[in-house]
Chains A and B, each alone.
Chain A
């Protein structure tokens, strides 16, 4: 019998270990689509190891904030990622932390990263932080509206319950859910600094958003930020998988076979979403910075529509 807290522990370790692989796989697929050979899918692990072993160069005029922010970002993101059911629902922490906590944790991480970007006082860090906050001011409410739509639909803000509800009988195609899905995808793209909002592979300092904030980081600081960034991507993919494609997910406490199926289906989902993300990225150019708020307001409006439609289509009982 595998218990709830075992599952929770496994989940905490899994997200940490699996996140760089997801980044590696997306990079590999992108390379192949661009007719390049690409680096190994395990390259992100090597990069992290390399960075951890390197000396961390810190600007002379940086404060304690600059040095502690990477760890805060890493810890909050890790915790948030550990709260999203990946292969099994019914996690121990579920009762204490629902999806709103996840949004709050990610918001905390963003807050500290933006402060760290400003801390050294370089112009790129400032530009990055200001752009990030501009995007966040729309992405966060959009994310909350998605949460409300789903929560109203499932009658709970706990991801385990939502996931269980989604696999249950009586959940068919629903316009509110469809709108919420699109909104969540848009938010995910923006939050993870992917094309068309940001370009994770760019070397053009003037166009960077996320990269501009962390331009001054090196060594172990950069390593934990990179690890946090890849965990964030994993988190969003897991979130979409957990709410909209909960099939195969096991429940904590079931047998070994169910766990194997849960894990297998989770990995499949990750690969599928990673592939779709990269295909989308390859087919589109990056937006102008001032187009991004328009793009995000689409997510906000869709989220809002989802909530309103849920209310008006609710049959009085």
Chain B
């Protein structure tokens, strides 16, 4: 399919790695139709001042291409007309760049709540702020329906997001999300920054995925600048990524159970998560391993006692974790809550190209570590985890299997760590602007980083796409027909990022 679409185009030479094609409106429409037919997966859509780009993955061939369309007079054709998952991405493009997305079915602003100092802050000429008036939520009409607005300030200590439920008694008829409360202007902030500054910002996009974001950013920089990190660094980065995955999955498994008031699981998982974080601190000098991954390698080598710390951690996990799995599996009252709750159909998971445990719990097996097989996973693969039920229980089980797979992987990887340096500092400035795209598997799913670096080694444009972009919309559908009181459970089983989404 990709070949048929782009066979007549020459790849843009400034884009390294996966080819990028600048296409005309006809091909852009053909892309939309292929997306609608499910032949391609949309892995991201973003803009710069004068063009819109999209990352396309072909599951049949495992190929990944990037397509761009140049805006003419500030107008670009929409993909969302054909493919609903592009909707929020294109609304964001309109918000940030002021481009008019022609044919976009939903023209309401998405991230822009009318409270920014400028309108279209990333456009060539940002406009003055306008007052957009009240946000119109989608309507549901019927006898006995009532609305329950929840958030953006919640009773618990979580990130802000607004959820508008329309319910008939306890049953949810429609849920509409409103996000954007944690918009920090990351993409504007990254503009003109040096690479060292850029990687520090990328590491702070979503605190729980700091390793994944640093890695995605670093890999994009390395791709663009032809910078090869040492072998040891490649392995150390993956070790960090797996540790991050284990810690977050443990936290999530406990939190899902806690939302069903089964606090014992929460307490036990919390202990294991804490031990994992302490292991990370012992191995890499930081509990979350923030700022450890930089373009060219890693900022620190594994501590002298790091190998033992990780091995004793994996040993402890493989000893203790099976008991918790048994506890989860054998508590009937808990299973009663999770099984059959918040189902995402396989068709929708495929349409939205949902990554991570959301996709893998609904039969969509896409794991960037396997599908794109970046180093070192090409040498040492991670056992896949897949379920088809698509409910809260399946999402918990995918996490459980992933923790086990990561523990196994870590044990093998730490024993096979190559020796040598951990940083290749030989950065050479390019003659002209260069760009690259990288995708890595964070704990939530595939994190995409696209960036363009100028000859002065400063970032001209950087786009970071959180896996949550394609998971948030599915949460709206998962809760339909469930009862209002089950929403926290569904929400926690998705555990989408607000910060990574709102940027």
A residues sitting closer than 8 Å to B (CB atoms) are: 30, 33-36, 123-124, 126-127, 195-196, 199, 201-207, 215, 282-291
Contact = CB atoms under 8 A, between A and B. Distances in A.
B148 A127 contact: yes
A36 B170 contact: no
B487 A206 contact: yes
Given A203-B156, A204-B155, A285 B333 contact: yes
B177 interface: no
B181 interface: no
B108 to A, nearest CB: 23
20 contacts: A34-B267, A35-B267, A35-B271, A36-B267, A124-B148, A196-B333, A202-B261, A203-B154, A203-B155, A203-B156, A204-B259, A205-B155, A206-B485, A207-B259, A207-B488, A284-B331, A285-B261, A286-B333, A287-B337, A288-B486
A206 B333 contact: no
B27 interface: no
Contacts of A284: 262, 331, 333
Contacts of A288: 336-337, 483, 485-486
B128 interface: no
B257 A289 contact: no
The 9 closest A-B pairs by CB, nearest first: A286-B261, A203-B156, A285-B262, A34-B267, A285-B334, A199-B261, A285-B333, A285-B260, A204-B488
B149 interface: yes
B42 interface: no
Contacts of B334: 285
Contacts, number: 81
Contacts of B299: none
A202 B259 CA distance: 8
A282 B264 contact: yes
B427 interface: no
Interface in B129-187: 146-150, 154-157, 170
Nearest to B335: A285
B71 to A, nearest CB: 42
Contacts of A201: 261, 263
A122 to B, nearest CB: 9
A200 to B, nearest CB: 9
B203 interface: no
B264 A283 contact: yes
A34 B264 contact: yes
Most chain A C-beta atoms within 10 Å of own C-beta, residue among B170, B263, B333, B337: B263
Interface string B289-318: 000000000000000000000000000000
Interface string B320-353: 0000000000010110110000000000000000
Interface in B249-267: 257, 259-264, 266-267
Nearest to A198: B261
Contact of A123 (B146, B263, B485): B146
A36 B264 CA distance: 11
Most chain B C-beta atoms within 10 Å of own C-beta, residue among A126, A127, A215, A288: A288
Contact of B483 (A124, A286, A289): A289
A289 B485 contact: yes
A195 B486 contact: no
Nearest to B171: A290
Contacts of B337: 285-288
B484 interface: yes
Given A202-B261, A204-B259, A283-B264, A123 B148 contact: yes
B485 A207 contact: yes
Contacts of B488: 204, 206-207
B261 A123 contact: no
Nearest to A33: B264
Nearest to B156: A203
Contacts of B149: 123
Contacts of B483: 288-290
Given A34-B267, A207-B485, A291-B336, 7 more contacts: A196-B261, A199-B261, A207-B259, A286-B260, A286-B261, A286-B337, A289-B170
Contact of A206 (B263, B267, B484): B484
Contacts of B260: 285-286
Nearest to B266: A34
B159 to A, nearest CB: 14
Contacts of B267: 34-36
A290 B337 CA distance: 11
A196 B146 CA distance: 27
Contact of B263 (A34, A124, A126, A203): A34
Interface string B480-503: 000111111000000000000000
Most chain A C-beta atoms within 10 Å of own C-beta, residue among B156, B259, B261, B485: B261
A35 B155 CA distance: 24
